[in-house]
Amino acid sequence: MRERVRQGLVGSLALVPSVFVYGTVFGGLAVQAGLHPVEVWGMSVLVFAGASQFVAVPMLAAGAPALAIILTTYVVNMRHYLMAATLAPSFRGFKRGWLMLIAHLINDESFAVAAARSQPPDAGVYLGSAAAIAGSFVGGVAVGTLLGGLVDDPRRYGLDFAFPAVFLSLVAVQLRRRSDWLVAGGAAMLAVALALALPGNWHIVVAGLVASAAGALVLPVETDA
Amino acid sequence: MRLHVWLTIIGMAVATYLTRAPMFLALASRPLRPRVRLWLRLVPLAVLPALAVPLVLLPDGRLATSLAHPPLWGAVVVFVLAARGVNLLVAVGCAVAVVALLRALG
């Protein structure tokens, strides 16, 4: 077990710098958007899901209702169900208390490391990777919140655009099949139309759920994933 | 440090834990049905553009119709670079730089 934890840790070292910088960018932008550093640290430890935290910060800054932010967070993080279901059988025999803690550490990078190494993924490798990823993300956020206060006019440096840029980059790397483009493009158009018609931020959740559900109902089921 | 911010963060934490813990604690070896797997894979593919595109195209709640709109070009830059396999942070950095540059020129 100890050896496999070490393998997971070492196997994740290549990801540590980019996860650290991702955390730094998040911490810096969140402080510039008006969050207190302690709020940013609290969010990073308690939520520990980078993409959804990027989503929440501009909504919080714009004074969106808590329910809209929480629901959007839930939808953005629904992909965890997939990873949790794949990882679960590897953790038989662990005490329930540990499982409740380990569940909180489910993240895209550690899942990718553990799933690439063996099928089913190994519990030890996964834990080693999760330790490396969680440590570098939270460490990066802490550094970022300290640096974030240094820029006094984020808009001048285009930093307000970092939020949509992060979202678009995450979409671009996930477009694998031609039909993925239809879902992403359909969601974008629906969201623009809804945003013009509805107040608040409900277009995100509604367009996201409608476009993905329509795609899942109509498109052929893939065999590769 | 504001109460409503902390309540939102705690709500986000609970919502996120609900996406992680139930399937994990069930320890089930029965895999998800293929169509459910497909849906869960498509959700972020739909939510992220639903979030990003209105931020780019509707800066003040109205459709930006002019090409002299820096975020439009930033979006093109980040999307093309990321799709071509450029490191995501580098792609985001280039897009931010393009937006800053166009704003400085405009």
Q: Which residue of A has its CA nearest to B104?
A: A156
pLDDT at A155: 82
Q: Which residue of B has its CA nearest to A191?
A: B50
pLDDT at A199: 81
From the list A115, A129, A141, the residue with the least C-alpha distance to A50 is A141
Task: Give me the residue from A22, A35, A106 closest to B24, CB to CB.
Answer: A106
* A103 contacts B25? CB cut-off 8 A: yes
How large is the ipTM?
0.91
pLDDT at B98: 96
Please, what is the average pLDDT of chain A? 92
* Percent of chain A residues topping a pLDDT of 90: 76
The H or E element spanning position A148 is: helix A123-148
From the list A39, A15, A18, A14, the residue with the least C-alpha distance to A27 is A39
Task: Give me the residue from B42, B53, B56 closest to A215, CB to CB.
Answer: B42
Beta strand residue intervals within A9-131, DSSP E = none
From the list A114, A131, A142, the residue with the least C-alpha distance to A44 is A142
pLDDT at A224: 52
pLDDT at A76: 94
Task: Give me the residue from B11, B23, B61 closest to A88, CB to CB.
Answer: B23
CB pairs under 8 A between A and B: 312
A47-56 confidence digits (pLDDT tens): 999 999 999 9
Is the pLDDT reported for residue A42 higher than 60? yes
CA distance A205 to A150: 34
Mutation target for B interface from A161, A180, A222: give the one with most B CBs within 10 A. Answer: A161
pLDDT at A225: 47
Write down the pTM of the prediction.
0.88
Is the pLDDT reported for residue A137 higher than 60? yes
pLDDT tens-place values along chain B, 106 residues long = 689 999 999 999 999 999 999 999 998 777 788 999 899 999 999 999 999 999 999 987 888 888 889 999 999 999 999 999 999 889 999 999 999 999 999 7
Q: Please report residues of A whose CB lies closer than 8 A to that of B70.
A: 158, 161
* Amino acid (one-letter) located at A174: Q
A150 pLDDT band, cuts 50/70/90, is confident
Measured at the CA of B18, the angle between CA B15 and CA B23, to 5 degrees, comes to: 160
CA distance B78 to A2: 41
- For residue A120, whether the previous peptide bond is cis, meaning omega lies within 30 degrees of 0, is yes
pLDDT at A160: 87
B60: closest CA of chain A, how far (Å): 10
pLDDT at A154: 79
From the list B19, B24, B46, the residue with the least C-alpha distance to A217 is B46
* B22 contacts A84? CB cut-off 8 A: yes
A170-193 confidence digits (pLDDT tens): 999 989 899 999 999 999 999 999
The winner for highest mean pLDDT among A36-50, A157-171, B47-61 is A36-50
A100-121 confidence digits (pLDDT tens): 999 999 999 999 999 988 888 9
